[in-house]
Structure 1
Amino acid sequence: MRPVTEGDIRASFVNCTKGEAKRLAVPRDLATRPWDDLDFLGWRDPASPERGYLVAESGDGFVGVALRQAAPHAGHVRRSMCSFCLTMHTGNGVSLMTARRAGRNGQQGNSVGAYICTDLACSLYLRGKKDVGPGGRLHESLTLEEQIARTATNLAGFLDKVVG
């Protein structure tokens, strides 16, 4: 992913108002992010832990989506798989994240959801830059490049649902 600025981020959001985009918490460490290892920029809001955001390249620009984490289920330890990068996590490592749809659909209360790595670090798990623990990444016959392409396709499918 190419590096983004705070201005790029704020201008990219498709499912919130300009005022909401202006007020959301943008990461302060943009200059030190491992851009070459990222398929999208994802972060959680430190002041509002149920909120997350992701920004991905789209054509010549960027598309940003505000996410909300669904309430986790209490009880037993479970294993879940991220629908973007296909990383397995135990406990709350994967969460149902919902995004209000863009435009009129979102204004009518419509949203889409996906099970995503709770910390939005899919790119780093995929490349082995962040450890998920025992049994987190399944052995695959696909090359890393093919896995990255699959993740990009899964992400694009989700974004298409938000924008469409």
Structure 2
Amino acid sequence: MTGIEIRASIVNGSNTEALNMVLPSNFVELEWENLDYLGWRDSHSPHLGYIIRWEGNRAVGIIVREADGPLSRRRMMMCQLCRATHTEHGVSLFSAKRAGEAGLNGNTVGTYICANLGCSSNIRVEVPHASYYADPESVLAEKVSGLESRVSGFMAAVMRP
């Protein structure tokens, strides 16, 4: 995927917002085969993030914004996309302006997501070798399937008229 394709994929932002998008610093080194979606925080506007995924043969992307104000830092929080649990600053509430007229009217969709938007990496942690775990490859396949389904659902909610 090129920077031009990524910018053109944005469905819930203006052309100006897409043009001002700062690509991840490691963009040229990304391991695309290990990315169920591309997610990153904007280095020039840290409250902004981006989620890009393939739908069929085209890229679809959304802009997300981190909510103002701290979440409770004393308890574990779970990312609603990858289902990883974190303490401290590991999970943030992100909202995405809805696409089309709904977004122009100020409608948004929100969920709790890993603060670094790195869910693809989080699901690829080594599975403990214990008798009650299935084959590690099947565990990873199940995690990937679940992540893809939840990311797809969140993005569908953003694009719903």
TM-score (norm 1): 0.87
Listed one character per residue, the Cα deviations across residues 32-85 of structure 1 (whole Å, up to 9, x for unaligned) are 012111111111111111111111111110111001001242664221000011
SS in 2 for 1:9: helix
Give the match for residue 90 of structure 2. Answer: 93
TM-superposed deviation, 1:121: 0.6
Q: Is the 8 A contact 1:84 1:155 kept in 2?
A: yes
For 1:7 and 1:81, how far apart are their aligned partners in 2? 33
Please state if 1:162 is matched with 2:158. yes
TM-superposed deviation, 1:31: 1.9
For 2:46 and 2:133, how far apart are their aligned partners in 1? 33
Cα separation, partners in 2 of 1:75 and 1:123, compared to 1, 3 Å: closer
Q: Is the 8 A contact 2:47 2:66 kept in 1?
A: yes
Moved over 3 A (4+): 139-142
TM-score (norm 2): 0.88
SS in 1 for 2:96: strand
Give the match for residue 135 of structure 1. Answer: none
Give the match for residue 39 of structure 2. Answer: 42
Please state if 1:23 is matched with 2:14. no
Cα separation, partners in 2 of 1:82 and 1:74, compared to 1, 3 Å: closer
Task: Give identity over the alignment, percent.
Answer: 38
The answer for unaligned runs of 5 or more in structure 2 is 127-131
1:120 to 114, 117, 121: 117
Of stretches 73-82 and 5-14 in structure 1, the one that deviates more from structure 2 is 73-82
Please state if 1:82 is matched with 2:98. no
Specify the code of the residue in structure 1 equivalent to 2:2. Answer: T
TM-superposed deviation, 1:18: 1.2
For 1:74 and 1:114, how far apart are their aligned partners in 2? 13
Equivalences, count: 152
The Cα RMSD (Å) is 1.8
For 2:87 and 2:39, how far apart are their aligned partners in 1? 20
Listed one character per residue, the Cα deviations across residues 106-142 of structure 1 (whole Å, up to 9, x for unaligned) are 000000001000001101010018xxxxxxxxx9767
Specify the code of the residue in structure 2 equivalent to 1:147. Answer: K
Give the match for residue 143 of structure 1. Answer: 139
The answer for unaligned runs of 5 or more in structure 1 is 130-138
